Amino acid sequence: MSGSVTMYSTPWCGYCMRLKGQMDREGIAYEVVDIEQHPEAAEIVERVNGGNQTVPTVVFADGSAQTNPSIAQIKDKLESLVA
């Protein structure tokens, strides 16, 4: 499954760790950006989430974003991007 996926995360986020593990098992390639280390990334997350720094926020190649998505939601989105 291909496509550009960026996960905005923090080191202490349990939901982020779980989603990373699920994406690894599914063979979904992704880049992780720590919003605590990159203030510009925190701004992206806030813009997507109505001013909140909610993680995980996943941004796809088409610029769309999902907040705290399930692995099924990510797979569905990636399939729609290649269709």
50-75: pLDDT as tens digits: 999 999 999 999 999 999 999 999 99
Q: What is the pLDDT of residue 3?
A: 59
4-22: pLDDT as tens digits: 899 999 999 999 999 999 9
Q: Which residue has the higher pLDDT, 28 or 3?
A: 28
Which residue range(s) make up the domain with 34?
Answer: 5-78
Tally of structural domains, the chain:
1
Q: What percent of the chain has pLDDT over 90?
A: 93
What tokens appear for 11 in the block? 């080191």
Does the residue 50 lie in any domain?
yes
Does the residue 61 lie in any domain?
yes
- Give the C-alpha distances (Å, rounded to integers) separating 41 from 16, 28, 63, 80, 83: 15, 21, 14, 25, 29
Question: What CATH number should be reported for the domain holding residue 58?
Answer: 3.40.30.10
Does the residue 83 lie in any domain?
no
pTM score, two decimals?
0.92
